[in-house]
Amino acid sequence: EAKRPGRSHITFFRELASDEDSRLLRLEFALRHALTNEELSIVYQPQVAVNTGEVHGAEALLRWNHPELGPISPAEFIPIAERSGLIHEIGMWVIENACQQLRTWHHLGHANLRLAVNASIDQFYDAEFYERLERAIQVSGIDPESLVIEVTESIAANADTVVEQLQRLKSLGVSIALDDFGTGYSSLQYLRSFPVDYLKIDRSFTSGLGSNDTDHNLVATVIDLARSFGLYTIAEGVETGEQLRILHELGAPLAQGFHISRPISPDEFGVWIDQYSA
């Protein structure tokens, strides 16, 4: 009798694990068809200059609306895309679309707008990536500098080989942002050797501004550090006017977050930028 609760405990975890596995399998299978079924879309989150309020650009963020399961978070499906290799096809689709969108905005008169696109490290080790990226830039006719490729700070785990890939990327003329800065392998050494243009301060630090002294000091330090390296900082996840005010005080150049705007559709972006600029 005493064994009973133990056994049901094990059964419980087995069922839990298999539920998770089957969701993963289901998502991976569905993701294979998500592109052709037009279930993927891109939303754009504005980035603004803290000092002047000027619109700097936007970050392209992928969305997946599964016909039965509804919206699936990129935090869930990007790792699946990476593990299955689908990230190459999906990642290129995002870049090609984003370049077209940027050209449209440039033609509408927002000539200085920049667009940031997230990329997974796997894409950097794919020779086709550079060719297709170059073609996407040529076809859209955008100035390559106005395209920013965001890579997470975790690329530093591959520091030995990744510098070469980053240089290859830079040689196409694009800009590079180090995403989620502060959460991973931050080291002065990497900052010195990586040819990056922007540091994005992770939301987990921005959210402590005004309430947590350690976060406050960390953000201040990163802003100064970036400046001394000739990099721009973008504070991510700015949710309150108070956070934006402190960033202004600290001399942060750029900010992005729900307080400025949530990620929005291209149509909504057009409306937002006109209202915001007015």
The reply to whether 258 sits near ligand C2E by the rule CB under 6 A is yes
| Residue with tokens 């089957």, as numbered in its chain | 22
Select from ligand C2E, Mg ion, none the partner in contact with residue 13, using the beta carbon and a kind-dependent cut-off of 5 to 8 Å. none
The reply to whether 125 sits near ligand C2E by the rule CB under 6 A is no
Contacts of 225 (CB under 8 A, 6+ apart): 188, 191
The reply to whether 73 sits near ligand C2E by the rule CB under 6 A is yes
Residue placing its CB nearer to ligand C2E in the complex, 3 or 216: 216
Binding mask 28-67 for Mg ion (x = CB under 5 A): ----------------------------------------
What secondary structure does DSSP assign to 20-37, as a single string?
Answer: HHHHHHHHHHHHHHHTTT
The reply to whether 2 sits near ligand C2E by the rule CB under 6 A is no
d(CA 233, CA 181): 10
Minimum gap (Å) between residue 193 Cβ and Mg ion: 21
Minimum gap (Å) between residue 160 Cβ and ligand C2E: 22
Residue placing its CB nearer to ligand C2E in the complex, 5 or 241: 241
Binders of ligand C2E among residues 230 to 249 (CB under 6 A) are 236-239
The reply to whether 179 sits near ligand C2E by the rule CB under 6 A is yes
Contacts of 49 (CB under 8 A, 6+ apart): 55, 56, 253, 254
Q: What share of the chain is helix, strand, coil (3-state, %, to 5)?
A: 55, 20, 25
d(CA 263, CA 182): 23
Select from ligand C2E, Mg ion, none the partner in contact with residue 91, using the beta carbon and a kind-dependent cut-off of 5 to 8 Å. ligand C2E
Helix and strand numbers (H, E) in the chain are: 11, 9
| Residue from 96, 153, 179, 215 in contact with Mg ion (CB under 5 A) | 179
Closest CA to 201 of 171, 172, 237: 237
Residue placing its CB nearer to ligand C2E in the complex, 183 or 193: 183
Candidate segments 69-77, 185-193, 217-225, 232-240, binder of Mg ion by CB under 5 A: 232-240
Which long-range contacts link 87-93 to residues 24+ away (Cβ below 8 Å)?
A: 87/120, 87/122, 87/123, 88/122, 88/123, 88/126, 88/128, 88/129, 89/35, 90/31, 90/34, 90/35, 90/40, 90/62, 91/119, 91/120, 91/123, 91/129, 92/129, 92/132, 92/133, 92/136, 93/35, 93/40
Amino acid at 24: L
Minimum gap (Å) between residue 112 Cβ and Mg ion: 20
| Residue with tokens 């989150």, as numbered in its chain | 45
The reply to whether 165 sits near Mg ion by the rule CB under 5 A is no
Minimum gap (Å) between residue 203 Cβ and Mg ion: 7
The reply to whether 256 sits near Mg ion by the rule CB under 5 A is no
Minimum gap (Å) between residue 74 Cβ and ligand C2E: 3
Contacts with ligand C2E, residue ranges (CB under 6 A): 45, 61-62, 73-75, 78, 91, 94, 118-120, 150, 179-180, 203, 236-239, 257-258, 263
